[in-house]
Structure 1
Amino acid sequence: MDIIQFQDKPLAHYSYAIISNHEMAIVDPSRDPKPYYELAEKHNANIIAVFETHPHADFVSSHLQIHKETGAKIYASKLVEANYPHQSFDDGDTVKIGNSTFSAINSPGHSPDSITIIAKDDANNYAMFSGDTLFIGDVGRPDLREKAGNMKAKREDLAKSMYQTIKNKFNHLPDETIVYPAHGAGSLCGKNMSDAASSTLGKERKENWAFQDVTEEEFVKTILEDQPFIPSYFGFNVDINKEGATNSETAFSNIPLNFGIADFKNDNQLIIDVRSAANYKKNHIEGSVNIIAETEDDKLETWLGAIVEPNEDFHLVINSISDRETILSRIAKIGYEKQIKSVITLGEDNFKTFESLDLDSFKENPTEYTIIDIRNKSEVAEGMFFENAISIPLNELRNSVEKIPTKKPIVVHCAGGYRSAAGSSVISKLIDSVAVYDLSDNVKDFK
């Protein structure tokens, strides 16, 4: 069997296509199924199966669209109680695809309804598609399903389930089994993942902390502490994936376009501007929030889903009409495309500018400013950049205006400059009585 890994870099998401004797299976597909179709054409393969390891929280899957467009059967645990056409796939269930046999292992821990997919070919080669259960160097976080999905579970109970899964569920598999996770470093579905794209089960048994000789109590304590924040959209995506998403290409076909505008009458709804910080500061619609999406390294999906609530409408400002399809496709990955009221490109420099910080003055007199540190709590715990800074994580800013003093000019910083563009624009929208500045990448001068 041939295994092809696909990477969605902004979400640190891995999906897979497995081809055997001109038949193809897909595991945990991204929102846009086109890359899988192109691969099937290239290899003259029929897509006959889609495996969902669990209802994903951090992205919208295209499993239902692939089923409708190819006839492929969707396999998921019966515990999902999925509302899309599917075949239950749990402990003891198998399916033959080409010359390979696929089997299911119920592996609760990240979620109650998680399964791990095992593929074995005629040469006794094993591959393990572990979803969000086993990562390279870590295991999936157990705190995402307390408020989302039809099967709610307390984080402590799921942590104990993960302990049992790791200790007991994979013991029959050989060390040579290749481990293919659904996420790598940078994902919010775990905390200490490696940047390696795959591993072997033998290597994980030796090096992954979760396989070591620890008690259940020690395991639960370790897995629950210092987990990243949970973006607002995570529960929303679990529900979408349980139902099955709409077609990715038609999802944003009717969004209005306001091209090259010279003025904009806001209807008091949120405006998200995804242009560069430089372009935003030079010319932006008053009250808009700057979530940069210039490259794949910019985490538009994560921060849009952390700052904007599910079902909250917003207008979208892009740099150029040529960016429209790319940006909308990225937003569709978290299911927010239906919330976009219009797409906007700006004309001449007729809007607002964002005042630049006098860096020398700030360095000489930092106490003359209110400094807002918008890094995550775990980052702040490792050390503050400024002794008197007020810590408010970016994902909490919109609901924390009462925590921000307004007697001095405000300076916003993060760890490297990317998030502070969003943070300073959020605060500027909330507070107009004092100047708000973005320290940007100048924060590196204070490390």
Structure 2
Amino acid sequence: MLLERIYDEDLAQASYFIGCQARGEAIVVDPRRDVDVYLDLAAQHNMRIVATTETHIHADYLSGTRELAARSGAQMYVSDEGGADWRYGNGFASAVKLKHGHRIQLGNISLEAVHTPGHTPEHLSFLVTDGAQASAAGFMLTGDFVFVGDVGRPDLLDEAAGFRDTRFQGAKDLFASLRDRFLTLSDYVQVLPAHGSGSACGKALGAIPATTVGYERNFSWWSTYLENDDEQGFIDELLSGQPDAHAYFRRMKFENREGPAVLGEIAALEEYAAEDLQAELAEDRVIFVDTRHNTLVHAGTVERSLNVPGIEKAASFVAWVYDPQREDRPLVLLAADQSEAEALRDHFIRVGVDTVRGYMTSLDGLPLVKPRVLPPQELDGTERTVLLDVRNKTEYGSGHIAGALQLSGGRVLWNLDQLPDPEVGPIVSYCQSGVRNSVVASALRRAGYDVAELEGSFAGWLAAGNSPEREADPETSVTA
């Protein structure tokens, strides 16, 4: 058996390529949308991808199941659990619908679908048996059910998809899934989750890639609650302190249920000359994306551009500032060369931003503006309508500037009603170090707001000798 983990550091997301070397057949579980990595792996190992599946209807990235099936001819398999509200839509009409206990066979390898609701109602995990070596499962692909040191959060349907109070039933379902599906397995079963540290799908995910049933049984935070059959204690602990859910999760959830658009062959990117870009910007036909660090952006950038700094978090940040359901202008990227521009585009399409048209390798010849930056020592004397903290609510709760409104970066553009009208007056904004703040501030400026970024953000303000307020004020916390 060949088992490869493909990990996207940007979205902290893992997919799995599993192949039977005897038959030359492979399946991909939880694929991302830029699928060349799986096709290249198949070619490298002289295999055909004959199947593709996913553990659940994802919220944090756009699924590549349909894309991979279209490119490889693979049969799609998706969950048929969870009830009518969580059945896959027309985009998956040709998919095999999986119930608990269904097996997918690839030569000597079998994947058994295990219904593990909690994170979502339709969630499946997959028990993997390598029949050439063993008669019982040795691996479990747990998706967003069990992570290293944590379990999937059950509140995303409320926080990101507009449902109401589903978190409580989800937490109960998760307790039952752990008790009846997970802890009944042998300790040696290796656990391969869909996310690692940095994902918003849990609150305490470990940074190592895998764990075992036995390790989680003995050392996870939730094991004592299961051992004592303390369902309510488990629910209370699980639902407390979860990180903010990004607003774009809602779009991901519904697109993934109905079936993401299949991209097929992607057009080559156009390299723009300064005069051509300037003409299109003047008529507001394109949006420029400045991909530099905020310190360079502050020295001068294209007016009304969006700041998506670097490739490391490109998917996450572009989803904060560009909503394809509201915006149809194509994007032009600042990139070192065509290769870097294409890599950025790949990250963008992972969250359904499919409108990258071209790139520029320099700002030479373009008129630039300097975003307003406010030194910490001038904060108290500066007129403002809102002091905006764009960090997560957990960061805010551990210390913030007195009077600040908390509205995390991934939710700002979906909660503009929480801010005063743009014509009323300026906003002063900050994050921890300035990176996230620059991203959010660029989007607010494009939306017409007058924004001053606090120089050095919260860290700079602390370094200037100021003392934070440490109790979170529930009146200043916003939920979408």
Name the TM-score class by shorter chain. 0.7 to 0.9
How far is the alpha carbon of 1:391 from its aligned partner? 3.2
Tell me what 2:6 maps to.
Answer: 6
Is 2:294 the counterpart of 1:277? yes
Structure 2 alignment gaps of length 5 or more: 82-86, 464-480
Q: 1:394 to 1:269 in 2, by over 3 A?
A: farther
Tell me what 2:88 maps to.
Answer: 81
Q: TM-score, normalised by structure 1?
A: 0.87
Tell me what 1:328 maps to.
Answer: 345
Match of 1:402 among 420, 431, 447: 420
Separation of aligned partners in 2, 1:388 and 1:239: 36
Aligned residue for 1:368, secondary structure, equals coil
Separation of aligned partners in 2, 1:255 and 1:25: 31
Is 2:126 the counterpart of 1:108? no
Is 2:146 the counterpart of 1:130? no
Structure 1 alignment gaps of length 5 or more: none
Asked if the contact 1:260–1:344 (Cα under 8 Å) also holds between the matched residues in 2, the reply is no
How far is the alpha carbon of 1:153 from its aligned partner? 7.8
Asked if the contact 2:29–2:52 (Cα under 8 Å) also holds between the matched residues in 1, the reply is yes
Identical-residue share of aligned pairs (%)? 26
How far is the alpha carbon of 1:287 from its aligned partner? 2.2
Asked if the contact 2:432–2:458 (Cα under 8 Å) also holds between the matched residues in 1, the reply is no
Amino acid at match of 1:199: T
Tell me what 1:368 maps to.
Answer: 381
Asked if the contact 1:233–1:310 (Cα under 8 Å) also holds between the matched residues in 2, the reply is no
Q: 1:271 to 1:227 in 2, by over 3 A?
A: farther
Q: TM-score, normalised by structure 2?
A: 0.81
Asked if the contact 2:55–2:143 (Cα under 8 Å) also holds between the matched residues in 1, the reply is yes
How far is the alpha carbon of 1:349 from its aligned partner? 5.0
Aligned residue for 1:145, secondary structure, equals helix
Asked if the contact 1:103–1:118 (Cα under 8 Å) also holds between the matched residues in 2, the reply is yes
Separation of aligned partners in 1, 2:411 and 2:97: 39
How far is the alpha carbon of 1:337 from its aligned partner? 1.0
Aligned pairs, number: 435
Separation of aligned partners in 2, 1:151 and 1:113: 15
Is 2:305 the counterpart of 1:288? yes
Separation of aligned partners in 2, 1:332 and 1:387: 39
Asked if the contact 1:272–1:315 (Cα under 8 Å) also holds between the matched residues in 2, the reply is no
Larger mean Cα displacement after TM superposition, 68-77 or 174-183: 68-77
Is 2:171 the counterpart of 1:196? no
Aligned residue for 1:10, secondary structure, equals coil
Aligned residue for 1:162, secondary structure, equals helix
How far is the alpha carbon of 1:142 from its aligned partner? 1.2
How far is the alpha carbon of 1:276 from its aligned partner? 3.2
How far is the alpha carbon of 1:152 from its aligned partner? 9.0
Write out aligned runs for 1:4-403 (5 A). Answer: 4-20=4-20, 21=22, 22-79=24-81, 80-83=87-90, 84=92, 85-122=94-131, 123-124=133-134, 126-146=138-158, 154-213=166-225, 215-250=230-265, 252-253=266-267, 258-261=272-275, 263=278, 264-267=281-284, 272-292=289-309, 294-296=310-312, 299-313=313-327, 314-320=329-335, 321-322=337-338, 323-338=340-355, 342-343=357-358, 345=360, 347-355=363-371, 357=373, 359=375, 362-363=376-377, 365-369=378-382, 371-384=387-400, 386-398=401-413, 399=416, 400-402=418-420
Q: 1:217 to 1:366 in 2, by over 3 A?
A: same
Q: 1:7 to 1:32 in 2, by over 3 A?
A: same
Asked if the contact 2:290–2:308 (Cα under 8 Å) also holds between the matched residues in 1, the reply is yes
Separation of aligned partners in 2, 1:358 and 1:91: 57
Separation of aligned partners in 2, 1:147 and 1:446: 31
Aligned residue for 1:161, secondary structure, equals helix
Amino acid at match of 1:159: A
Separation of aligned partners in 2, 1:357 and 1:308: 23
Q: How well do the aligned residues superpose, as a CA RMSD in angstroms?
A: 3.1
Asked if the contact 1:232–1:310 (Cα under 8 Å) also holds between the matched residues in 2, the reply is no
Separation of aligned partners in 1, 2:27 and 2:410: 37
Asked if the contact 1:141–1:224 (Cα under 8 Å) also holds between the matched residues in 2, the reply is yes
Separation of aligned partners in 1, 2:342 and 2:285: 26
Q: 1:396 to 1:12 in 2, by over 3 A?
A: closer
